[in-house]
């Protein structure tokens, strides 16, 4: 539990990137996926990242999570520069400080729902607290499915297990890459409500990449990327406003080529 | 579908390689023995029997192992296509088309491999014949005389078995509704099919029957080699029978290990994978069982024979050469089954690339992944050794009894631990090498 003093004084953002640049390949065939991106994500906020296909959204998440090493720039996780960390340290950071939700659910097929949720702790060599695991599953409405293997769960249920897994360790940030991309709209709404409630009730800082204006409307703020650059921001996004902005951005990309 | 099959082959290189290696080496071995049988027809009368025994009996043993290995490898590969099959079906491929894709692919690969195997056998057959002749087991009156017919027949059998095995395995990929199979993609928890249980039980029973016949009938015959003919195949047949039940055996035997291993993160992953995905990892277990039971059983038999032949009466005075030829041939069969261990292990582990990648994204360190994969391989190897030694007893014990060495042979007791060590090292080594390529 953070003390009151701590909460007042400590306004370090949960996540910040400075001049983040990522170049894939080299020479004539090089692709600049990110070009000098500066962004700050305050604690307890829910940010959506949007942009045309190929604009660098997934690359951004990968760099933040330490899956890829940025070409230049810095990634600050709760004020700590993690950019230069070696593979092992970044892996530990991912396990202990970051919660991940992927489009393809990324559950381990031979582990039950509760074992999947307990996996990061298990990998860290900690005994996962049974209660915390149960609580996380209950939070996503799957307490009764704890013993099921992923193959016995629907897509929406699998994604909710993945969210429980991301939340259980109370990570500094939760990263979600098109978490509703593989779901129908009703199930997607359920998942989005869960993400929203994690932000509101647990103060979970969340960054979500999405193509869907509806999904983005659940966030506090939308950041638009085009060709690896920040092309705009929108607070309190509505579905219509986001859709209009996206259509505009698509024109920008077309004009740029 | 044919064009698609050929295209998809290019993308599934490691899996195709596994089938190719099994079919190539298998055909080479089977076809070499087949040429001996063909040569027997035109051989001198005195040599006919030996050529037929060598080609037919010993060749028969190797045929059992070869066909099992090919069916097993094709099964691993088809199993790995369940997900892709679900995907194809969601975009409108009929189950029949999907099965055709899998079957056609297996047929193309085994066809090319078998053709290459025939070429190898065209050199291997004469070499085998020459060795028999130089060992004075065949008179100089006979000469190697085989056309393309016998190797081609062996090749044909390999292709047919590979294709049929693919056809049977492909059912799994297309059972159920399309979306269902996509979702179920990863761990089909299913029981062994009845025919497989029956096949395994029959093979084990026939191995036991050979053992009993050896003690009660052929062991008492005047011909010193009668016992060898019934006894030699017992461990091979029993081993293949146990291997046919591998998925079930793995699940049952690995379950008690849960508390033992699940302490660490990597052990936890390993043991869950072993028990819940026994169907997949059984592809690794089967060749280990066959290797250990074949190598230990038959090599112990050769050793016993060597020590006791004089006492048993060696009318023709060819004991030494028979022992030598036996050692070479059995060495060859053992080597083949050892290569199949590597083949299957690599095929199983390489296919786990997406899953290992997923674990890595979730925060498993490279070292944890490595430990987990190798640990799994070691557990599979140890279980395979236990079962293999059980199978080996079907040959070694009766033969030892009929040659008056008692239940336990008098010599070569270093052999079981040695073969076991080879099995563990090779399985774990192959898994380690394969995960190195699979992980980043
Ligand atoms: N490993 C790689 N090698 C080369 N180029 C890459 C690699 N990964 C991504 N890129 C390129 O970087 C750019 C950004 O890719 P990224 O995956 O981040 O896009 P995205 O915004 O997530 O797109 P989408 O919405 O389609 O998922 C693209 O032009 C892509 O082709
Ligand atoms: Mg993307």
Please give the pLDDT value at position A185: 84
Torsion of CA B241, B242, B244, B248, to 10 degrees: 150
Please give the pLDDT value at position B201: 95
Please give the pLDDT value at position B277: 82
Please give the pLDDT value at position A1: 45
The yes-or-no verdict on residue B27 having pLDDT over 50 is yes
Half-sphere exposure of B287 (CA within 13 A, CB side): 34
Average pLDDT over residues B116-128: 92
Contacts of residue A126, defined as CB under 8 A and 6 or more positions apart, other chains included, come to none
The reply to whether B188 touches chain A by the CB within 8 Å rule is yes
Please give the pLDDT value at position A57: 92
Mind giving me the DSSP string for chain A?
A: ---HHHHHH----SEEEEEEEEEES-GGG-EEEEEEEEEEE-TT-EEEEE-STTSSHHHHHHHHTTSS--SEEEEEETTEE-TT--HHHHHHHHHHHEEEE-TT----TTS-HHHHHHHHHHHTTPPPPHHHHHHHHHHTT-GGGTT--GGGS-HHHHHHHHHHHHHHT--SEEEEESTTTTS-HHHHHHHHHHHHHHHHHH---EEEE-S-HHHHTTSSEEEEEETTEEEEEEES--HHHHHHHHHHHHHHHHHH-
pLDDT band at B438 (very low <50, low <70, confident <90, very high): low
The most confident of the ranges A242-246, B5-9, B48-52 is: A242-246
Phi, psi dihedrals of residue A34, rounded to the nearest 5°: -135, 135
For residue B362, give how far its alpha carbon lies from the nearest alpha carbon of chain A (Å).
6
Supply the residue whose CA is at minimum distance from atom 25 of ligand 1: A53
Is there an atom of ligand 1 within 6 Å of A116 CB?
no
Give the tens place of pLDDT for each residue, B401-424. Answer: 988 888 888 888 899 999 999 999
Q: In what order do the strands lie in the sheet with A173-177?
A: A98-101, A173-177, A206-209, A46-50, A221-226, A229-235
- State which residue of chain A sits closest to B364, comparing Cα positions: A123
Give the tens place of pLDDT for each residue, B226-275. Answer: 788 888 889 999 999 999 999 999 989 988 888 888 778 888 888 888 88
Q: Say how far apart CA B247 and CA B33 lie, in whole Å.
A: 32
Task: Give me the percent of chain B exceeding a pLDDT of 70.
Answer: 87
Mark yes or no for CB contact A110/B264 under 8 Å. Answer: no
Chain centre distance of CA B224: 29
The yes-or-no verdict on residue B168 having pLDDT over 90 is no
Provide the residues around ligand 2 (an ion) whose CB is within 5 A.
A 58
Average pLDDT over residues B343-360: 85
pLDDT band at B188 (very low <50, low <70, confident <90, very high): low
The least confident of A40-44, B133-137, B344-348, B378-382 is B133-137
pLDDT band at A28 (very low <50, low <70, confident <90, very high): confident
Please give the pLDDT value at position B320: 65
Q: Ligand 1: which of A21, A28, A30, A33 to mutate, judged by most atoms within 8 Å of the beta carbon?
A: A33
Angle at A243 between CA A240 and CA A246, to 5 degrees: 150
The least confident of A182-186, B20-24, B187-191 is B187-191
Give the tens place of pLDDT for each residue, B55-73. Answer: 888 888 889 999 999 998 8
Give the residue carrying structure tokens 């769960």. Answer: A153
The most confident of the ranges A61-65, A232-236, B199-203 is: B199-203
By CB atoms closer than 10 A (0-12, 13-18, 19+), residue B408 is: exposed
Q: Say how far apart CA B71 and CA B74 lie, in whole Å.
A: 5
The yes-or-no verdict on residue B378 having pLDDT over 90 is yes
The yes-or-no verdict on residue B326 having pLDDT over 70 is yes
> To which H or E segment does residue B265 belong?
helix B265-276
The yes-or-no verdict on residue B145 having pLDDT over 90 is no
Please give the pLDDT value at position B79: 75
Supply the residue whose CA is at minimum distance from atom 30 of ligand 1: A54
Supply the residue whose CA is at minimum distance from atom 14 of ligand 1: A56
The yes-or-no verdict on residue A176 having pLDDT over 70 is yes
Is there an atom of ligand 1 within 6 Å of A54 CB?
yes
pLDDT band at A253 (very low <50, low <70, confident <90, very high): low
Give the residue carrying structure tokens 């070569």. Answer: B412
The yes-or-no verdict on residue B12 having pLDDT over 50 is yes
| Position with higher pLDDT, B185 vs A183 | A183
| Position with higher pLDDT, A1 vs A209 | A209
Supply the residue whose CA is at minimum distance from atom 26 of ligand 1: A53
Please give the pLDDT value at position A31: 87
Contacts of residue A105, defined as CB under 8 A and 6 or more positions apart, other chains included, come to A150, A155, A158, A159, A161, A162, A182
| Position with higher pLDDT, A10 vs B334 | B334
CA of A60 to the centre of ligand 1 (A): 10
pLDDT band at B87 (very low <50, low <70, confident <90, very high): low
Average pLDDT over residues B286-307: 91
Q: Say how far apart CA B13 and CA B114 lie, in whole Å.
A: 18
Mark yes or no for CB contact A92/B363 under 8 Å. Answer: yes
Please give the pLDDT value at position A174: 93
Helix/strand number for chain B, H first, E second? 18, 0
CA of A58 to the centre of ligand 2 (A): 4
Cβ atoms of residues B374 and B435 within 8 Å: yes
pLDDT band at A221 (very low <50, low <70, confident <90, very high): very high
- State which residue of chain B sits closest to A149, comparing Cα positions: B187
Phi, psi dihedrals of residue A18, rounded to the nearest 5°: -125, 120
Please give the pLDDT value at position A4: 46
The yes-or-no verdict on residue B96 having pLDDT over 70 is yes
The yes-or-no verdict on residue A10 having pLDDT over 70 is no
Could you tell me where the DSSP H helices lie in B175-264?
178-183, 194-216, 226-244, 246-254, 258-261
Please give the pLDDT value at position B184: 44
Please give the pLDDT value at position B181: 45
Query: The tokens of B11 are what?
Result: 């993308």
pLDDT band at A172 (very low <50, low <70, confident <90, very high): very high
Task: Write down the mean pLDDT value for chain A.
Answer: 86
Task: Give me the percent of chain A exceeding a pLDDT of 90.
Answer: 41
Q: Say how far apart CA A14 and CA A204 lie, in whole Å.
A: 10
The yes-or-no verdict on residue A179 having pLDDT over 50 is yes
| Position with higher pLDDT, B160 vs B97 | B160
Q: Say how far apart CA A133 and CA B244 lie, in whole Å.
A: 39
The yes-or-no verdict on residue B429 having pLDDT over 90 is yes
Q: Which ligand has the nearest atom to the CA of A226? A: 1
Please give the pLDDT value at position B286: 93
The reply to whether B152 touches chain A by the CB within 8 Å rule is no
Q: Say how far apart CA A127 and CA A110 lie, in whole Å.
A: 19
| Position with higher pLDDT, B225 vs A154 | A154
The yes-or-no verdict on residue B436 having pLDDT over 90 is no
Give the tens place of pLDDT for each residue, A69-122. Answer: 899 999 999 989 999 888 788 888 888 899 888 887 778 888 889 988 988 888
Please give the pLDDT value at position A3: 45
The reply to whether B276 touches chain A by the CB within 8 Å rule is yes
């Amino acid at each position: 539990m953070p003390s009151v003093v701590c909460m007042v004084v400590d306004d370090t953002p949960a996540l910040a990137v400075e001049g983040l640049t990522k170049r894939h390949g080299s020479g004539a065939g090089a692709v600049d996926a990110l070009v000098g991106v500066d962004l700050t994500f305050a604690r307890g906020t829910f940010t959506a990242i949007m942009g045309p296909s190929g604009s660098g959204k997934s690359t951004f998440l990968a760099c933040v999570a330490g899956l890829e090493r940025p070409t230049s720039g810095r990634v600050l996780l709760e004020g700590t520069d993690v950019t230069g960390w070696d593979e092992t340290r970044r892996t530990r950071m991912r396990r202990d400080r970051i919660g991940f939700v992927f489009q393809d659910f990324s559950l381990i097929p031979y582990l039950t729902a509760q074992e999947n949720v307990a996996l990061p702790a298990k990998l860290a060599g900690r005994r996962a607290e049974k209660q915390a695991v149960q609580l996380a599953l209950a939070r996503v409405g799957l307490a009764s499915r704890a013993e099921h293997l992923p193959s016995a769960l629907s897509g929406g249920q699998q994604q909710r297990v993945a969210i429980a897994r991301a939340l259980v360790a109370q990570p500094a940030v939760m990263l979600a890459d098109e978490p509703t991309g593989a779901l129908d709209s009703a199930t997607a709404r359920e998942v989005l409500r869960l993400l929203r409630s994690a932000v509101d009730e647990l103060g979970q800082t969340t960054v979500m990449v999405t193509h869907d204006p509806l999904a983005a409307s659940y966030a506090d703020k939308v950041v638009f990327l085009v060709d690896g650059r920040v092309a705009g921001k929108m607070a309190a996004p509505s579905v219509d406003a986001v859709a209009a902005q996206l259509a505009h951005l698509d024109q920008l990309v077309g004009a740029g080529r | 579908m044919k064009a698609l099959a050929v295209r998809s082959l290019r993308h599934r290189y490691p899996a195709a390689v596994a089938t190719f290696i099994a079919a190539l080496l298998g055909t080479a071995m089977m076809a070499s023995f087949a040429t001996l049988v063909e040569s027997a027809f035109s051989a001198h009368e005195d040599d006919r029997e030996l050529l037929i025994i060598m080609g037919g009996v010993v060749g028969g043993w190797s045929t059992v192992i070869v066909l099992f290995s090919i069916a097993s490898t094709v099964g691993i590969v088809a199993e790995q296509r369940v997900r892709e099959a679900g995907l194809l079906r969601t975009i409108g491929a009929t189950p029949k088309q999907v099965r055709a894709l899998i079957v056609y692919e297996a047929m193309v690969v085994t066809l090319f491999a078998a053709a290459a195997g025939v070429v190898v056998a065209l050199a291997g057959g004469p070499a085998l014949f020459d060795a028999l002749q130089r060992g004075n087991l065949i008179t100089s009156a006979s000469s190697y005389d085989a056309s393309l017919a016998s190797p081609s027949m062996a090749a044909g059998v390999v292709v047919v078995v590979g294709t049929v095995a693919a056809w049977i395995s492909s059912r799994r990929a297309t059972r159920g509704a399309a979306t269902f199979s996509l979702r179920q993609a990863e761990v089909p928890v299913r029981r062994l099919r009845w025919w497989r249980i029956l096949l395994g039980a029959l093979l084990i029973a026939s191995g036991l029957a050979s053992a009993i016949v050896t003690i009660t009938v052929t062991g008492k015959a005047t011909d010193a080699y009668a016992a060898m003919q019934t006894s030699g195949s017992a461990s091979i047949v029993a081993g293949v029978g146990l291997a046919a039940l591998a998925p079930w055996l793995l699940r049952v035997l690995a379950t008690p290990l849960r508390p033992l291993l699940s302490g660490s993160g990597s052990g936890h992953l390993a043991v869950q994978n072993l028990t819940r995905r026994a169907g997949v990892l059984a592809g690794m277990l089967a060749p280990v069982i066959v290797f250990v039971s074949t190598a230990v059983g038959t090599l112990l038999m050769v050793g016993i024979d060597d020590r006791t032949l004089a006492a048993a009466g060696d009318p023709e005075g060819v004991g030494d050469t028979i022992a030598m030829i036996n050692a070479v041939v059995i060495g060859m069969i053992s080597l083949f089954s050892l290569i199949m261990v590597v083949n299957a292990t690599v095929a199983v582990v390489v296919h786990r690339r997406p899953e290992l990648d997923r674990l890595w994204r979730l925060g498993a360190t490279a070292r944890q992944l490595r430990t987990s994969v190798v640990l799994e391989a070691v557990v599979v190897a140890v279980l395979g050794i236990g079962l293999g030694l059980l199978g080996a007893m079907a040959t070694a014990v009766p033969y030892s009894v009929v040659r008056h060495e008692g239940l336990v042979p008098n010599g070569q007791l270093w052999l079981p631990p040695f073969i076991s060590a080879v099995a563990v090292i090779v399985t774990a080594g192959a898994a380690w090498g394969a995960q190195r390529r699979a992980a980043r």
